[in-house]
Amino acid sequence: MTAESANVPSQMVYEQRVYHARPGSLPSLLARFEDHVLGIWKRLGIDPVAFWTVVIGESNLMLIYLLRWKSLAEREQRFTAFLSDPEWLKVRDETDKGGPLVVQTTNRILKLTSFSPII
């Protein structure tokens, strides 16, 4: 099945985010997502696809995940709402008390090709 044959809206995009954790902080970063961020995202309508950690590769201090968006406009609206959400700001401040859990973040906005299987 392809994206076109499944009637996936052509404006749908995926966002790949990579968080490079401070040494020793990856377990705390994973707990922050599992215990707090996913609930906030659900409330705000943010659609995570999957999360990964690195077993073999350049660094085992990374959390990699995909978010699914109906459009770039939806991404802008919902992710901006998340970044200013009082619950998120409180969680971030509390979990970063010993120093930031994340030292670098990278992200890419991705669009499915016409021959991509749907996740």
In a domain, 7, yes or no: no
Three-class SS string for the chain?
CCCCCCCCCCCCEEEEEEEEECCCCHHHHHHHHHHHHHHHHHHHCCEEEEEEECCCCCCCCEEEEEEEECCHHHHHHHHHHHHCCHHHHHHHHHHCCCCCCEEEEEEEEECCCCCCCCC
pLDDT in tens, 20-65: 999 999 999 999 999 999 999 999 999 999 999 999 998 899 999 9
Residue 74, domain CATH: 3.30.70.100
Residue 82 placed within a domain: yes
Domain-located, residue 4: no
Q: Is residue 99 part of a domain?
A: yes
Is 8 part of any domain?
Answer: no
As a whole-number percent, the residues of the chain with pLDDT over 70 amount to 91
pTM, entire model? 0.87
pLDDT band at 1; cut points 50, 70, 90: very low
Range of the domain at 71: 13-110
Give the chain's domain count: 1
In a domain? residue 119? no
